[in-house]
Amino acid sequence: MDYASLSQLRRLHPAWRLLLADHAPLIISFLDAAFIQPNARVLAEAGLRSQLEDLLFQLRETHGEAAFPRSAGDYLNDWADNDKGWLRKFYPPGSDQAHFDLTPATEKALGWLESLTQRQFVGTESRLRTVFDLLQQMIAGTETDQQARLDDLHSRRAAIDREIARVEAGEIAIMDDTAQRERFQQLSGTARELLADFRQVEQNFRQLDREAREQITAWEGSKGKLLEQIFGERDAIADTDQGRTFRAFWEFLMSPTRQQELSEGLARVFELDAVQSLQPDARFKRIHFDWLDAGEQTQRTVARLSRQLRRFLDDQTYLENKRIMQLIQSLEGRALALRATPPEATLMTMESPQAGIHLAMERPLFSPPLRPVIESDVDAGDESDVEPDALFNQLIVDRQRLAGHIRDTLRDRPQATLAEVIERHPLQVGLAELVTYLSIASEDAHASFDDSRQESIHWTDETGTGRLARIQRVIFTC
């Protein structure tokens, strides 16, 4: 932590620069509310933007219109810019909408700020115990001597035996409230950190991918040597420390018994009075589902990166890419020299990936163009027999209502004819409504027309005259 490296860190590290940013309170409060509080991994641009717009609106109400002059979209793009690096903006496969994720640096800054404000007390006992547990795990896990392992197992059994004896004697030691609270705090802290780690893990994978690609691009030697260098016997990404620990974590989490254990354990812990007094966030009970979501996202990224990298290393791609870059550079040089006198003629052709099939039969035959007859004389009427109401009393048939009638009729039977629907819900506006029913039926995959049978539909129009329509039978099914 010498002066030079710290001043460089302040200049270059996104986390530090976030803390120095003019709008830091806006950015941090917003990102915390959008990503950290709901344990969200990746958010679509539209949702995030409207959330930010709401916040900006509120802030402008209290701090004046000029407080934050730019639009929400501008801010988001600015924060995702390379020179800021607080958000990662990307287009996931299959979606045309940009998505955002926090960068690990932002997460660090947020986490540090959170540690400034929270924590009612610092539990030291549980942390000391964790240290002992870890020590124990390492010693036991690396012991190769059979006798030493057996000794260890025996001594642990003896300890358990002693405890059983104590419980049988009615001596049950209860963890006191402070110890409970302390452990819960450590539990929830670690659980949240784990969620935060996913971003770092994913970033590490990206970094590994980038390094491999840089090595490939800059490689001058033979292909065989390159493969040896990058892969050795292993997969460039999945077999790193990062890859292995992530896979182990994932397998552990994916086991159904572990998941059940977590669900039940969290539910029980939440019922403890000491824990309740901490007023824990209820969402914490579901944190392992958030882990699953976040882990799956990372899993997908890793799989995609591995696949991409293998493709990039593919013989042809590897050789072509270099050649292509050389050729394009040469091309660009020439194009620049020809800037003032670009070629007018066509130099290049390219085959279209679309077949130009034009069947003669598909071309329309000649038909004389229709000449509309335009009457330009307008006779002025005397308005005596015009009913202007007709303009305003347009009949409106509500398709939704009619569709509702069909559903309603189908509630107690597997199929119903249109006549049955209308019997239950008589036509109110007459023919227009009947036509709408037919239009619904023609678009509905669950409706069929039976040409062989006819049905009569009766209704009464507004003048009180009875009307009858005969139509082919229409059958709606569930």
Partner 1 sequence: MTVPEPYDTASDNALSLAVIKLLKGVVYQDDDPDLWQQIMALQPRIRDYVAVLGLVFQLDEAEGYAWLATREDDTGNAPLPRLMSRRQLSYPVSLLIALLRRKLAEADTSGGDVRVILDREEVVSLMRTFLPESSNEARLVDRIDSHINRVAELGFIRRLRNQPDKIEIRRIIKAYVDAQWLNEFDQRLADYQRHITPADDTSDNREGED
Residues paired with residue 373 on neighbouring β-strands, in sequence order: none
In the bound complex, what is the minimum distance in angstroms from residue 37's beta carbon to partner 1? 28
Please give the residues from 399 up to 428 whose contact with partner 1 meets the rule CB under 8 A.
Answer: none
Smallest separation (angstroms) from partner 1 to the CB of 302 = 10
Q: Applying CB under 8 A, which of residues 1, 66, 174, 355 lies at the interface with partner 1? A: 355
| Residue 343 interacts with partner 1 (CB under 8 A): yes or no | yes
Residue 351 as a binder of partner 1 (CB under 8 A): the answer is yes
Taking CB under 8 A as the criterion, the residue among 138, 338, 386, 435 binding partner 1 is: 338
- Would you count residue 42 as binding partner 1 (CB under 8 A)? no
Question: Which residues are CB-neighbours of 216 under 8 A, at least 6 positions away?
Answer: 226, 230, 312, 313, 318
DSSP per residue, 193-206: HHHHHHHHHHHHHH
Shortest Cβ distance from residue 215 to partner 1 (Å)? 10
Q: Which is nearer to partner 1, 129 or 213 (CB)?
A: 213
Which of 44, 54, 90, 140 binds partner 1 (CB under 8 A)? It is 90
Taking the least distance from each CB to partner 1, the nearer of 308 and 442 is 308
Residue 357 interacts with partner 1 (CB under 8 A): yes or no: yes
Task: For residues 314 and 343, give the distance between their C-alpha atoms in angstroms, rounded to a whole number.
Answer: 37
**Nearest-CA neighbor of 83 among 23, 31, 21?**
21
Positive or negative torsion for Cα 7, 114, 44, 27: negative
Residue 298 beta carbon to partner 1: minimum distance, rounded to whole angstroms: 13
Question: Which among 54-62, 88-96, 117-125, 437-445 is the span making contact with partner 1, rule CB under 8 A?
Answer: 88-96
Report the site for partner 1 in 95-134 (rule: CB under 8 A). Answer: 96
For partner 1, the closer CB: 57 or 90: 90
Place of tokens 């006992």: 125
Residue 337, interface with partner 1 (CB under 8 A)?
yes
Q: Shortest gap between Cβ of 39 and partner 1 (angstroms)?
A: 25
321 binds partner 1 (CB under 8 A): yes
Q: Which of 276, 308, 428, 442 binds partner 1 (CB under 8 A)?
A: 308
Q: Is 353 in the site for partner 1 (CB under 8 A)?
A: yes
Give the bridge partners for 415, in sequence order.
477
The Cα–Cα gap between 152 and 146 comes to: 10
- CA 321 to each of CA 8, 128, 306: distance values in angstroms, whole numbers, following the listed order: 35, 55, 19
| Shortest reach from residue 345's CB to partner 1, in Å | 8
Contact, 431 vs 460, CB < 8 A? Answer: no
Closer residue to partner 1 in complex, CB, 36/208:
208
What is the C-alpha to C-alpha distance for residues 303 and 306, in angstroms, rounded to an integer? 5
Sign of CA dihedral 281, 173, 163, 146: positive
Q: Would you give the binding string for partner 1 spanning residues 214-253, x where CB under 8 A is met?
A: x-xx------------------------------------
Q: Which of 457, 471, 387 is nearest to 426 (CA)?
A: 457
Residue with tokens 């163009």: 369
Among the residue ranges 26-34, 65-73, 290-298, 329-337, the one whose residues contact partner 1 (CB under 8 A): 329-337
Contacting residue, 122, 347, 396, 445, with partner 1 by CB under 8 A: 347
The CA–CA distances, whole Å, from 137 to 61, 132, 142, 144, 355 equal 57, 9, 8, 13, 67
Residue whose CB is less far from partner 1, 94 or 141: 94
Q: Answer for the pair 13, 103: CB distance below 8 angstroms, yes or no.
A: no
Q: Nearest approach, Cβ of 239 to partner 1 (angstroms)? A: 17
Q: What angle do CA 136, 127, 154 make, to 5 degrees?
A: 25
Q: Count other C-beta atoms under 10 Å from residue 137's C-beta.
A: 10
Residue ranges in 196-215 that form contacts with partner 1 under rule CB under 8 A: 206, 209-210, 213-214
Q: Are 474 and 418 in contact (CB under 8 A)?
A: yes
Query: Residue 350, interface with partner 1 (CB under 8 A)?
Result: yes
The helix (run of H) or strand (run of E) holding residue 437 is helix 431-443
Residue with tokens 């509120």: 58
Q: Is 70 in the site for partner 1 (CB under 8 A)?
A: no
Which residues of this protein are in contact with partner 1, per CB under 8 A?
90-91, 93-94, 96, 206, 209-210, 213-214, 216-217, 304-305, 307-312, 314, 317, 320-321, 323-325, 327-328, 330-332, 334-357
